[in-house]
Amino acid sequence: MVHKKIYIFNMVDIIHWFSYNSVVKKILILCIPFIASADSSILTTIPAPLYHFPSKTSFDIQREVQPDFQNKIPSVTLDSHYIGVKYDYFIEFNKWYTKNTQGINNDKNNESFDCDNHAMLYKSLFSIGTLKNDFKREILVGVILVEQTEKFLGIPKSRRHALNIVFTEKGWIIYEPQTNMMCNLKEYPMSIKAFVF
């Protein structure tokens, strides 16, 4: 039997730059972001995280992810302390994610389920894994907002784009949830305009 889920939305004002009509766009951070008819038992199969220490603060994230910030574009950290994951766990989770989200891509969806939805779904599912461990820190997985000025990680050039960033013992890794492609932050050619952790 499939149970209907109740979805909780936390509205976060992001940036004028990322809006479609000069009004601040709202980004929906889905606390339980699975499609309405989904069987939630799939969530119990998320692998338990393996953590990489030490923890980081919101200041650390700002300094490392967006060093040229200069208080021009608001970025959001919703918790005070975060913890990275082991690279092997990151790879294991990506395999789980790719397998269990097959079929939700639809090129005809336009904006009904596009890059920001994929990035927020990835972040939320990654974070749900912390429920399997008794650990009091949020995982260092975020949504980044960029201008996609060139084709990269399998995504064509476009005006705006959202994807993910994860911290492991190998450093910050940019992850594209729509293509399962990744690169180190230092190799990523686009400028990060804003982020949500």
Write the burial class of residue 13 (CB in 10 Å: 0-12 exposed, 13-18 middle, 19+ buried): exposed
pLDDT digits (tens, 9 = 90+) for 145-192: 999 999 999 999 988 999 999 999 999 999 999 999 999 999 999 988
The whole-number pLDDT of residue 170 equals 97
Q: What is the pLDDT along the chain (197 residues), one digit of tens a residue?
A: 444 444 333 334 333 333 333 322 333 333 334 444 456 788 889 999 999 998 999 889 888 887 665 545 667 888 888 999 999 999 999 999 999 988 776 666 666 678 999 999 999 999 998 888 877 889 999 999 999 999 999 999 988 999 999 999 999 999 999 999 999 999 999 988 889 99
The whole-number pLDDT of residue 94 equals 97
Write the burial class of residue 114 (CB in 10 Å: 0-12 exposed, 13-18 middle, 19+ buried): middle
- pTM for the whole thing? 0.77
**Angle, vertex CA 163, rays to CA 117 and CA 30, nearest 5:** 35
Phi, psi of 85 (to 5 degrees): -125, 160
The whole-number pLDDT of residue 126 equals 94
The whole-number pLDDT of residue 50 equals 92
What whole-number distance in Å separates Cα of residue 9 and Cα of residue 155? 27
Strands 81-85 and 138-139: parallel
Does 43-196 carry CATH code 3.60.9.10?
no
The DSSP letter of residue 76 is: B
Question: In terms of Cα–Cα distance, which of 34, 88, 82 is closest to 195?
Answer: 82
The DSSP letter of residue 46 is: S
- Rounded to 10 degrees, what is the CA torsion of 14, 16, 19, 22? 150
Which residues lie below 8 Å from residue 4, measured CB to CB, with a gap of 6+? 36
The whole-number pLDDT of residue 59 equals 85
The whole-number pLDDT of residue 161 equals 94
The whole-number pLDDT of residue 22 equals 30
The whole-number pLDDT of residue 107 equals 67
The whole-number pLDDT of residue 130 equals 86
Question: How does DSSP assign 142-166, residue by residue?
Answer: EEEEE---S-BTTB---S-EEEEEE
H-state helical runs in 79-191: 87-100, 115-128
Tokens 């998320």 correspond to 46
What whole-number distance in Å separates Cα of residue 135 and Cα of residue 41? 22
Locate the domains of the chain by residue range: 43-196
Q: Please report the sign of the dihedral spanned by the C-alpha atoms of residue 144, residue 22, residue 20, residue 125.
A: positive
